[in-house]
Homo-oligomer: A and B are copies of this chain.
């Protein structure tokens, strides 16, 4: 890959370890958007952030926190992987609007308004019906705009997604999903949604999670690149990136936590089924972060030039975060003063 590129994976939730972080660096990643919360409450989220501080303390040679977009450039310069905090749900703010700013100042740069189910803000993609943004949801969208927290609608239902885009004064993203045109999974996005994201100058991060791909774990890299090309034509080359949804080395219990949280007495299988309850098999061409260069090469073989490929591999993520995620003037104890 061109070392001038800034390479970003727009969603991972692995069982974090030295090996995983080394693979990120070996794969040329300069930053990764990591999930800190699925159903975690405010208090739980603080524990998750504390766990990240422990990792920054344990692996200072490999990872460094990204509290503002400029930290991505710092990470790259230092040869480390920048860690961007995101929540896949609004559970970290519970029912309290002032917690948006608190969480942003704790480093949370990206937050989904819903995770599959109805939340206090809007509707997830697994509910039977979507009545759009709630009263609280409308206020939270504007508060996220104000404090520079990026609105992510990856797991949201269509109407809530369109209303968030309409109500937001900043671009809105889908960090990890694919066009339904390519594969009609419940989690993928209609042309209406991807057009709205494009018009809004947001970003769609392509997912490599097999449930979101045509032919599942058998999806070919060629088919994936065709989808990227189709989407680039539709949304524009500046509106797309990657959000692999890589969940490496996670046990079944983590999948069940994602799907069931604490809300269900019966097992909910999410995108799977009782006959297919586990993690999907990995793609042959994307097993871990070391496979990003292969994706970049395939995109170039598909006809994207160096500049375009660099945008898809991370340049557009840098652009989006620079426009939306306002600096907060916060610094981790683990970031030494460069002066």
Chain A contact residues, CB within 8 Å of chain B: 39, 41, 91, 94-98, 117-120, 123, 126-132, 134-137, 139, 143, 261-266
Contact = CB atoms under 8 A, between A and B. Distances in A.
Nearest to A143: B265
Summarize A's interface: helix, strand, loop or mixed. loop
13 contacts: A94-B262, A95-B263, A97-B263, A117-B135, A118-B131, A118-B136, A127-B131, A127-B134, A127-B135, A128-B131, A128-B132, A135-B263, A139-B264
Contacts of A130: 131
Given A127-B134, A131-B130, A262 B97 contact: yes
Contacts of A126: 135
A128 to B, nearest CB: 8
A139 B94 CA distance: 21
Nearest to A121: B118
Nearest to A261: B95
A130 B39 CA distance: 24
B127 A129 contact: no
Contacts of A127: 131, 134-135
A38 to B, nearest CB: 11
A17 B335 CA distance: 54
A126 B126 CA distance: 24
Given A41-B94, A131-B131, A136-B264, A120 B123 contact: no
Nearest to A132: B129
A129 to B, nearest CB: 4
B129 A263 contact: no
Given A41-B94, A95-B39, A118-B120, A263 B131 contact: no
Contacts of A95: 39, 41, 91, 261-263
A147 B127 CA distance: 25
B263 A120 contact: yes
B134 A118 contact: yes
Nearest to A263: B136
A120 to B, nearest CB: 6
A262 B96 contact: yes
Contacts of A136: 117-118, 263-264
A164 B260 CA distance: 22
A97 B143 contact: no
